[in-house]
Structure 1
């Protein structure tokens, strides 16, 4: 996504936040109505061919679902960065719950809206501070409200988690599942092409690494990127799906000096990668820079250069200081074989 388009969406998001408060569902619906066509343009039919995985078994024909995912991912990250409740707002939420106002007892959702915190946060603060439950018990009660003795509070906590599409239990499960599905897609792509790798779980358990990529390649792949002639890829290490493919060098140890570069494209650039990280999200500048400092730079120090895939896109161009030794794309690339 171009930077100016991203700023247009963020500007409208902030305006809607002032109108709808913490009701992110309504904010996302309004953003989809206003920017749906813009988001769809980044998923246009002329790029569908680049979205295929190996044998053309995946496409992005469901534009509406794609639009919803991009808008939600973008808005949810901004919302998470903004929602940092003050001590005053937490105290107000705890004190006002259960207090009758003209024979009308406010729900936790209404209180959260008034004091400007998320529904789930309001529920957690009431459980933990007003009823003196520790964090472990609060987590258990939030996951299973049948453990809450107060029936009205149990219903309020359940409604908070159902309607909180960022911090709620249900939204957390959906986000985690989305990430697992995307990792599975990448894993299937590697398996179909007989590419050997070590998973994140194996690296953590067997090799005791504390920070690990999703896939550590046992034999490096060659990333072919286009656009070097006009410096678009060379400067930013960022590609469209149609601008990138992975090359598996099958005769790496052959005695003859066979070239894996099978074309004469002067605009192509070839870079070896040792790991792949996949994120089922949209990445803003702030989001990517945090991941680069906390994760990607550590991967580079341990394993060398790598490939980062943001499933729902990212803001272009990425600042150069956050692209060192990594290549960024928003599509699952094809894999070519050389013999």
Structure 2
């Protein structure tokens, strides 16, 4: 589904009214001693989750900030990002069992942020990459996927590079990128700067599929070599089809002759 920017902005504006105001580090620092007291007094209660709901903060973000503070106090220094992420993904690594339980409760009760959501997003992304490969195989199109390209030494690649380019809506396509998300202004601009233009520089013009739709006005780079679609295109023209069309368009010779008719 494609949305106009006006339609998208209307939805976004309405959604913002539903979001709570996020108070951040100052409030959390003030409440951290409260967590310790509550956790000791009621070790079986979901203290962190209740605190997150009370201050209108993402539970997983509350868990990250509290764990970061806990590790700083325990180790007298700022923990590395890898250590912090590994403990959020696997709370059993946290030395304090009560805190570990609270971190786990926050993680599994957050539908918008955190390691569980990241895992879900990754799985959905993988599912749509498989869907894209299946669609290409159905059309008997020869391609290299990201894994194959990495083994060939490419460090930054689209999901698919077509071994034989095709045409979609009259535009040549050398590569395809799968995005299992909605293409809004911010995300698309980020992808353009960090991914799409580098693919264009290295491999030529390509196609981006936003499986969950995009703002229609963002599909404005076709003449520069980046096309957007919300599904796998059905109007693909292969090199063979283009050759057949060209052959039928040529003037025919006289019956029994392989040469074209004289002009």
Above 0.5 in TM-score? Answer: yes
**Unaligned runs of at least 5 residues, structure 2:** 245-263
With CA pairs under 8 Å and 6+ residues apart, which has the higher RCO, 1 or 2? 1
Checking the alignment, whether the CA contact within 8 Å between 2:171 and 2:222 is kept in structure 1 is no
Larger radius of gyration: 2
Aligned to 1:99: 37
How many residue pairs end up in the alignment?
Answer: 228
1:212 partnered with 2:112: no
Matches within 5 A, 1:157-172: 157-172=103-118
Correspondence 1:1-339 to 2 at 5 A? 1-18=3-20, 87-100=25-38, 107-115=47-55, 117-132=57-72, 134-135=79-80, 136-209=82-155, 211-223=156-168, 225=169, 270-318=170-218, 320=220, 324-334=224-234, 335=236, 338=241, 339=244
Instruction: Output one character per residue of 1:162-210: Cα deviation in whole Å (capped at 9) or x when no partner.
Output: 111222222211110100010001101112222121211222332233x
Change (3 A) 1:13 1:137: same
Q: Residue in 1 aligned with 2:261?
A: none
TM-score (normalizing by structure 1): 0.60
Q: Contact (CA 8 Å) 2:167, 2:237: kept in 1 or not?
A: no
Q: Which runs of 5+ in 1 are unaligned?
A: 23-84, 226-269
TM-score norm. by structure 2 comes to 0.76
Distance 1:325 1:89 in 2: 48
> In structure 2, how many angstroms separate the alpha carbons of the residues matched to 1:9 and 1:150?
43
Greater Cα shift, 324-333 or 123-132: 123-132
